Amino acid sequence: MGAEGPESAVVSAAARILAAGGLVALPTETVYGLAGDASNPDAVRRIFAAKGRPADHPLIVHVAEASAIRAWAAAVPDAAWRLAAAFWPGPLTMILPRSAAVSPLVTGGRDTVALRVPAHPLTRAILAAFGGGVAAPSANRFGRISPTTAEHVRAELGAAVDLVVDGGACEVGIESTIVDLSVDEPAVLRLGAISAEALGAVLGRPVPVVTGGPVKASGQLPSHYAPRAALEVVPAAAFGPRVAALRAEGVRVAAVGHEGEGGVDVAVPTGDAGYARALYAALRAADRAGVEVIVMVEPPEGPLAAALRDRLGRAAAPRHELDRGPLPV
């Protein structure tokens, strides 16, 4: 990136707004984040208000370089440095004991903090220019689908954000893997593009996945990442006939991932990485079309399959406790 031109203007504008306590939507390789200065309690409060997120759901602090986590964590075990060397910048979040300087607003009152070095070049430049840590949850209303384009953020949060940085469509498309390193036995709390096997290969020990346990991450709530419409996931082979069966009178069906019948057609790529990249935009497109039922073809096998099954399971779960208001378009 050169020192001149539109990109450097965006980088300095974003860094200035963050320093002034404003909110900036930032592109990352996973999903867009709603960023504010993690050291500024007013900025952190604005993030919770914009998302409608309960105060006890902690935020991830994003930093420019792995070495910067020393300022946020009370202790950094060898396992964290090994994972940082292998996967940062990238779609991995580590839970570590928090340093005394971290605001309890960021951690939801916990004694641990979530840390990540994201990979998107624009956001890395903004973090470097800003110089501190930014708290950034996914830039969606609480419980809803994470945004994977700048347009998704504008449509959902619009006026609540001071600047939306457009970094194009997100490369990965689903949220980062979360690994808990604050306990004796590291465990995956949220599945993502970096599999438990990949973490285990670096650590030289199996890393269990505990996403079904007591809620430590809000991505573990039974209903999360949810479209407005009801969602059903069906095997690829059963897809065509099931769509027809579900087309009861007066009910429009979004045939997501299917080229044939249905209220709306959104083609989803057949590989697991392409499916992840397209998933949230497809669910949003179906919601925008006003359908009542989305029938989604099940994800293909591959390294991302477990994370995709996890997201689809939560997106399809009953969600009476959530605000089902219409998505602004």
Residue with tokens 């179906």, as numbered in its chain = 286
| Secondary structure class of 139 (helix, strand, coil) | coil
Asked if residue 39 binds ligand TXA (CB under 6 A), the reply is no
Kindly report the number of other CB atoms within 10 A of residue 242's CB atom.
18
Q: At what angle do helices 78-87 and 196-203 cross, to 10 degrees?
A: 120
With CB under 5 to 8 Å by kind, the binding choice for 217 among Mg ion, ligand TXA, none is ligand TXA
Cβ closer to ligand TXA: 94 or 254? 94
User: How far apart, in whole angstroms, are the C-alpha atoms of residue 261 and residue 265?
Assistant: 8
Cβ closer to Mg ion: 87 or 142? 142
Cβ closer to ligand TXA: 216 or 277? 216
Please report, as residue ranges, which positions from 130 to 149 form the binding site for Mg ion (by CB under 5 A): 138
Residue with tokens 């996403």, as numbered in its chain = 211
Kindly report the number of other CB atoms within 10 A of residue 63's CB atom.
26
303 sits in which H/E element = none
Q: What's the helix, strand, coil split of the chain in %, to 5? A: 35, 15, 45
Asked if residue 28 binds ligand TXA (CB under 6 A), the reply is yes
With CB under 5 to 8 Å by kind, the binding choice for 216 among Mg ion, ligand TXA, none is ligand TXA
What is the smallest separation between the CB atom of 89 and ligand TXA, expressed in angstroms? 11
Which position among 15, 17, 50, 59 is part of the footprint of ligand TXA (CB under 6 A)?
59
Are 85 and 58 in contact by the 8 Å Cβ rule? The answer is: no
Cβ closer to Mg ion: 16 or 57? 57
| Secondary structure class of 60 (helix, strand, coil) | strand
What is the smallest separation between the CB atom of 224 and ligand TXA, expressed in angstroms? 8
| Secondary structure class of 88 (helix, strand, coil) | coil
Pairing of strands 163-164, 24-26: parallel
Which position among 13, 19, 21, 57 is part of the footprint of ligand TXA (CB under 6 A)?
57
- Residue 202 burial (C-beta neighbours within 10 Å; 0-12, 13-18, 19+): middle
Cβ closer to Mg ion: 135 or 297? 135
Which x/- pattern, by CB under 6 A, does the window 114-133 give for ligand TXA? x-x-x---------------
Asked if residue 89 binds ligand TXA (CB under 6 A), the reply is no
Output the furthest CA–CA distance in the chain (Å, rounded): 60
Asked if residue 113 binds ligand TXA (CB under 6 A), the reply is yes
With CB under 5 to 8 Å by kind, the binding choice for 247 among Mg ion, ligand TXA, none is none
Asked if residue 308 binds ligand TXA (CB under 6 A), the reply is no
What is the number of the residue whose Cβ is closest to Mg ion?
138
Residues paired with residue 94 on neighbouring β-strands, in sequence order: 115, 179
Determine the size of the site formed for Mg ion (CB under 5 A).
Answer: 1
Interface contacts to ligand TXA, rule CB under 6 A: 28, 30-31, 33, 57-60, 93, 95, 107, 110, 112-114, 116, 118, 136-138, 175-176, 178, 189, 216-219
